[in-house]
Structure 1
Amino acid sequence: MLTYADIQAAATRLRDQVLQTPCVESETLSQIVGAQVFLKFENLQFTASFKERGASNRLQLLSAEEKARGVIAMSAGNHAQGVAYHAQRMGLRAVIVMPRFTPGVKVERTRGFGAEVVLHGDTLEEARQHAFLLSKEQNLTFVHPFDDEAVAAGQGTLALEMLAVQPDLDTLVVAIGGGGLIAGVATAAKALKPGIRVVGVQTQRFPSMLNAVQGTDLPMGQSTIAEGIAVATAGTITREVVKRLVDELLLVDEGDIEQAVLMLLEIEKTLVEGAGAAGLAALIRHREKFAGQKVGLILSGGNIDPLLLAAIIERGMVRSGRLARVRVSARDVPGVLAQITATVAAAGANIEEVHHQRAFTLLAAQNVEIDFVLQTRNQQHVEQVLEALRAAGMQAARA
């Protein structure tokens, strides 16, 4: 059984191995969600994830014989990099099995830490099975990403740090994939402060821990922007800890996570991946459950694909009205485009894209339909632009 003593011992081992990350209040986020919000910046670790803690603790507990043989792990991201980096620091052989769909940047970064990367299977489960096979064939020690007491103990050290600097926290909000992080955090936090509330967060597309603990049968999805917690089967060890120590499990949807990623980028100027923003997403979605409390959030990782980040930013701009698509119908005569663009400019908007539509329209043949993508200030500003176009004698609406 995972114990508080295990986590204390892990903290001693990790003292010079990982960064003791900041845990500070975000005044702006606190005002927005109606609770006092403290952020634990685990995205500042060298590999940009809390996974380093569990990986380093597990590797340090290997026997001399196990160290000589080397280790193997299965992961599509943060655990892979954590194991590879700390194995390299300790001079150990590390084999990492990753699914074939793993983004090239993660594969190359893992290789950059000196690991031998094996690409196998189209799913994490296929990669895991292959890792077990290689472990037996090559006599390597398997380092599980979450269902391992030493790994969970390492993850729990961040809760010791949080409560050391913010001892009066009322609630900790923790993202859940397989459960290693919340198992460690809940064990440490409840030992230090029995009355503290621990809340777990999963995506609606991957409610595996909620199903395991509550006996429900919510459907599992295929993908999520929070791929770091897209785990189809909760850990055996971790689910028992969650049953005993976690007070509530909440679900968030993709839009909540997108909004949280963007808020952290804009407000805190910090980059988090989808899984790292799940805690804030829960505060946004279920703010009535945290009103007036002192809440600790773990920004668990910052490894996000640049193309995904670009899409999240653009979609967020659309939702807030800073990017808008409008359709203008007018007489197809010389100078009409100049008149439209001048009207848009006078209303204070900037034109990003223009698309003329003559053939694929139901308008009269002498009319033209023009789609614009505009940079605007907010939703109210979009309406002001539309009113200006209508006042100039054109038909204008959101596209």
Structure 2
Amino acid sequence: MALIGLEELRAAQRRIAGVAVRTPLLPCPWAATGDRRLWLKPESLQPTGAFKLRGAYNRLAAMTAEECARGVVAQSSGNHAQAVAYAAGLLGIKAVIVMPDTSPGVKVDNTRAFGAEVILVAPGERDTLPAELVERHGYVWVPPYDDPYIIAGQGTVGLEIGEDAPDELDTVLVPVSGGGLISGTAAALKLTCPGVRVVGVEPELAADAQASLRAGEHLSWPVEDTYRTIADGLRTPTVGVLPFRHLTAYVDDIVTVSEDEIRDTVALLARRGRLVAEPSGAVAAAGWFHRADEVGGRVAAAVVSGGNIEPALLAELLAR
């Protein structure tokens, strides 16, 4: 399958207009150190609280009438779940979502509130049950990242950064899980702003993407390892096949951050940036604050990918 190009990215941008929010690029003077400056792209401001709406709506809106009538099934720890449920509701499509039983309650509740049927399973079954449901019921499978429409939709984040960024922007930080967001964002930036470096950030406890990129081959981590991280949206044990092709073509490097660094950054974004970020959404900014030598660059933008955090966890992290 070919890498996505500008035509697919621009088509996605037109398709999601008026549904997904065109989030601002926020300057962070409180984050400046010396001549280093940071901007934040708060995808937590989307109607579903995360960037996933871009890809989900782009995928569902491109379906045929026959596909829409069949309904859709998706698997997700929460943000893709909410996005598919919300998009399906707008388009009048039945949605069934398979979620691990470790998903935060706020994400499960929101997915149901958007009108989807939720099936909770053990983490190891999350990625296998959808295929069975497709076979049994004829649903259209909407994967969370390994799909060109999903990648193109997420890539609109990169298009917007390229359009809004100051001329001196030299680095963009993006969280990595299954790879849909960084794939699309990196493609958009490299095709429109070729001088900008794209650096992925993921938890040390779920660093399969970094291992894969540096080894030059598609590697997988055990589920029991990746599920140790507090960043529940980044626990995917391996990047997708199509995202891995984009990573090797467009991503300059991937760095990792510790659990304490993620926790500290959630609190920092809330206190200083007035932004509610879930742990997964804070990872890219954590790379800027805690791994400056590895990240490099002078003027960066970090994608705050989501803000769907349990209130009790947010209170705990703010009390640290």
Q: TM-score band (shorter)? A: over 0.9
Partner of 2:9: 7
The letter of the residue matching 1:92 is I
Matched, 1:65 2:70: no
SS at match of 2:319: helix
Partner of 2:210: 210
SS at match of 2:200: strand
Partner of 1:195: 195
User: Alignment length, in residue pairs?
Assistant: 312
Is the CA contact (8 Å cut-off) linking 2:82 and 2:111 kept in structure 1? yes
Q: 2:279 aligns with which of 274, 286, 293?
A: 274
Partner of 1:176: 176
The letter of the residue matching 2:132 is L
> What are the superposed Cα offsets for residues 185-233 of structure 1, whole Å, 9 maximum, x if unpaired?
0100000011110001111100111222222889744321111111111
SS at match of 1:136: helix
Q: 1:223 aligns with which of 228, 236, 260?
A: 228
Matched, 1:74 2:75: yes
Partner of 1:235: 240
Q: Which residues of 2 match residues 364-383 of structure 1 at below 5 A? A: none
Q: Which residues of 2 match residues 20-31 of structure 1 at below 5 A? A: 20-31=22-33
Q: Any unmatched runs of 5+ in structure 2? A: none
Is the CA contact (8 Å cut-off) linking 2:269 and 2:275 kept in structure 1? yes
The letter of the residue matching 2:24 is P
Is the CA contact (8 Å cut-off) linking 1:35 and 1:290 kept in structure 2? no
Structure 1 pair 71/314, CA: closer, same or farther in 2 (3 Å)?
A: same
The letter of the residue matching 1:24 is L
SS at match of 1:128: coil
User: Which structure has more RCO (C-alpha within 8 Å, separation ≥ 6)?
Assistant: 2
SS at match of 1:205: helix
Cα drift, residue 143 of structure 1 = 0.4
2 CA distance for matches of 1:282 and 1:73? 30
Is the CA contact (8 Å cut-off) linking 1:83 and 1:94 kept in structure 2? yes
Structure 1 pair 34/221, CA: closer, same or farther in 2 (3 Å)?
A: farther
1 CA distance for matches of 2:199 and 2:134? 35
Give the stretch that moved more between structures: 36-45 or 160-169: 160-169
Is the CA contact (8 Å cut-off) linking 1:199 and 1:247 kept in structure 2? yes
> What are the superposed Cα offsets for residues 296-340 of structure 1, whole Å, 9 maximum, x if unpaired?
11110000112222222222xxxxxxxxxxxxxxxxxxxxxxxxx
1 CA distance for matches of 2:22 and 2:108? 27
Is the CA contact (8 Å cut-off) linking 1:36 and 1:292 kept in structure 2? no
Q: Which residues of 2 match residues 124-163 of structure 1 at below 5 A? A: 125-163=124-162
Q: Which has the larger radius of gyration?
A: 1
The letter of the residue matching 1:145 is P
SS at match of 2:254: strand
Cα drift, residue 40 of structure 1 = 0.6
Cα drift, residue 103 of structure 1 = 3.2
Is the CA contact (8 Å cut-off) linking 2:205 and 2:228 kept in structure 1? yes
SS at match of 2:32: helix
TM-score (norm: length of structure 1): 0.75
Is the strand fraction higher in 1 or 2? 1
The letter of the residue matching 2:85 is A
SS at match of 1:277: helix
Cα drift, residue 129 of structure 1 = 1.0
Give the stretch that moved more between structures: 302-311 or 198-207: 302-311
Cα drift, residue 285 of structure 1 = 2.0
Matched, 1:50 2:51: yes
Is the CA contact (8 Å cut-off) linking 2:106 and 2:308 kept in structure 1? no
> What are the superposed Cα offsets for residues 54-94 of structure 1, whole Å, 9 maximum, x if unpaired?
00000011111001111010112100000000100000011
Q: Any unmatched runs of 5+ in structure 1? A: 316-399
Structure 1 pair 132/264, CA: closer, same or farther in 2 (3 Å)?
A: same
Partner of 2:269: 264
Structure 1 pair 70/191, CA: closer, same or farther in 2 (3 Å)?
A: same
Is the CA contact (8 Å cut-off) linking 1:207 and 1:218 kept in structure 2? no
The letter of the residue matching 2:193 is K
1 CA distance for matches of 2:105 and 2:125? 19
> What are the superposed Cα offsets for residues 235-284 of structure 1, whole Å, 9 maximum, x if unpaired?
11101110111111101111111111111000011100111111111112
The letter of the residue matching 1:239 is F
Q: 1:17 aligns with which of 13, 19, 25?
A: 19
The letter of the residue matching 1:311 is E
Is the CA contact (8 Å cut-off) linking 1:147 and 1:180 kept in structure 2? yes
Structure 1 pair 305/152, CA: closer, same or farther in 2 (3 Å)?
A: same
1 CA distance for matches of 2:154 and 2:226? 27
Cα drift, residue 149 of structure 1 = 0.9
Cα drift, residue 105 of structure 1 = 2.8
Partner of 2:317: 312
The letter of the residue matching 1:57 is N
SS at match of 2:126: helix
Is the CA contact (8 Å cut-off) linking 2:9 and 2:153 kept in structure 1? yes
1 CA distance for matches of 2:265 and 2:316? 14
Is the CA contact (8 Å cut-off) linking 1:171 and 1:293 kept in structure 2? yes
